[in-house]
Structure 1
Amino acid sequence: MKAHLQTATFPAMAAERLKACLQDIIAQRGKASLDHLATMETADAMAWLETLPGIARKISAGIMNTSQFDRKALVLDTGHRRVVQRMGLVPPKADTTRAYDELMPILPPEWSAADLDEHHLLGKRLAQTICRPKRPDCPSCPVRADCETGRTL
């Protein structure tokens, strides 16, 4: 975890949130463990995680998807959300929770947790390189034909 805190945008804030989460987990569960989530449905486990300080949909999905739980939960960061909004897959003003709720039912049911993680990483990369917040490079976009915004330019 130390390496992640060192590369965080606001490491002191991240460290305080982590400490608050651990204290809350220990207060509720008697130990610093999320093992109880293994028997819960993914949506219920994410809802429980989102009661912890500083945990919202992106983080709860990340915990369920890229950890020992290996669950089908799509991580959506700001850039990835921007891509799917411009594509017309979710409403333009949708927050992360609403975007998640709109996308999960339309993703291929055969996709694994690893496939969802790859979708996230590819969407994030597309947002960083081509589908930037200002002046997106739509002519170079590999998904332009499927994108509402790209087709109008």
Structure 2
Amino acid sequence: MPASRRVDIAAPLLKWYDRHHRSLPWRSPPGAAPMEPYRVWLSEIMLQQTTVPAVIPYFTKFLARWPSVHDLAAAPVEDVMEAWAGLGYYARARNLHKCARAVSEKLGGVFPDSVEGLLELPGIGAYTAAAIAAIAFDKPAAVMDGNIERVLARVFAIETPLPQAKPELRRLAESVTPQKRPGDFAQGMMDLGATICTPKNPDCPLCPLRKSCVAQERGSAAELPRKAAKAARPVRHTIAFLLQRDDGAVLLRRRPPQGLLGGMLEVPSAPWRDSPWRNGDALSHAPAAIDWQEAAGAAEHVFTHFALKITALHGRVDARAAAEIDGQWQQPGDAALPTVMKKMLGLLPAGDDVRSTRNPRRGRARS
């Protein structure tokens, strides 16, 4: 694309953003002083791999509970993890707390105003550093999220599939980012991708960049960006142990601090492995030696790199026996759990829809 067409992007985009911007709780109005860095940082961490509608209630809840970076830093990490439950990608929550502590304890509560300084903080990568620098400090940093990738791929008609096209798209982002109002420009590009230049059926007639968009001229906007074929997602299997007290409370445990869902509450389960479990084999991982019953139905949860297929065994104990079992007891509806664990609890049997599976120490189990 000729260089003369590249410089046309910022002006029409900002003009459109001034009129059609989304009003979001972590944003200042167009042209106004930037929102405080703590709010920008918190929102950007939450928005990684998560949609705006899903983030808004979490952002509001976090801000009410921890209104400053010092408040968040002082909170127990377990409280932060539980408040994050349901938002996914739980390493982000652990790094959120680590970053808050670093800013509070080492930097006096002041976030760095440069991409380089922000990159030194836990949990802040290239995209997040650029977004915070641009939006909170109005630095001309080139921001690149999925929406912006899509807009640029169409405007410049980039045929190289993602992710191979990312370096080229980043160079283009750097070339079009203006020196003035770079934060509004980044947010305008995000809004354009979210509302008009959408993945399917882009509304090209309403797009402020239509006169500069090569893909629109060629009639190929809906086909871009191209994506390389994905490998099949591996499948893992587990059996959840749904153990209830007489009052209906379920047994939960705390996962180790490191690894997938680290530090979160979990439903006890057999190790997640590549091959399906036989009930009799899985019982060696049960949290108690009782008569387990096979719950009807199954569930599935898709993580980034694999899918987890879940079946369940159900059991009941009285209060005296429950007191001897390691873990904590909570009513199913009260527990702050990751989505995958909520799906496990969704297999709790209704009525008598179970089949007996005895513990091997008390008899042979059915598989």
- TM-score, normalization by structure 1: 0.66
Q: Distance in 1 between matches of 2:88 and 2:208?
A: 35
Query: Whose strand fraction is larger, Structure 1's or Structure 2's?
Result: 2
Q: Bigger radius of gyration, 1 or 2? A: 2
Equivalent residue, structure 2, for 1:21: 99
Counterpart code for 2:140: K
Q: Distance in 1 between matches of 2:99 and 2:158?
A: 30
Counterpart code for 1:10: L
Instruction: Tell me how far 1:125 sits from its aligned partner.
Output: 1.6
SS at 1:66 equivalent: helix
Pairwise CA RMSD of aligned residues?
3.5
Distance 1:150 1:79, change over 3 A: same
Mean Cα displacement is larger for which, 48-57 or 119-128?
A: 48-57
Query: Given the alignment, which residue of 129, 145, 164 partners 1:60?
Result: 129
Counterpart code for 1:21: C
Give unmatched runs, 5+ long, in structure 2: 1-37, 47-57, 60-83, 220-367
Instruction: Tell me how far 1:101 sits from its aligned partner.
Output: 3.6
- TM-score, normalization by structure 2: 0.31
Counterpart code for 1:66: I
Identical-pair percentage: 26
Instruction: Tell me how far 1:132 sits from its aligned partner.
Output: 0.8
Instruction: Tell me how far 1:70 sits from its aligned partner.
Output: 3.5
Instruction: Tell me how far 1:83 sits from its aligned partner.
Output: 0.4
**Residues 1-153 of structure 1 mapped to structure 2, 5 A cutoff:** 4=43, 6-7=58-59, 10=87, 13=90, 14-23=92-101, 25=102, 31-33=106-108, 37=112, 45-67=114-136, 69-88=137-156, 92=160, 93=162, 94-95=165-166, 99-108=169-178, 111-112=179-180, 115-153=181-219
SS at 1:103 equivalent: helix
Q: Is the 8 A contact 1:58 1:76 kept in 2?
A: yes
Q: Is the 8 A contact 1:22 1:32 kept in 2?
A: no
Instruction: Tell me how far 1:131 sits from its aligned partner.
Output: 1.0
Q: Is the 8 A contact 2:134 2:186 kept in 1?
A: no
Distance 1:78 1:34, change over 3 A: farther
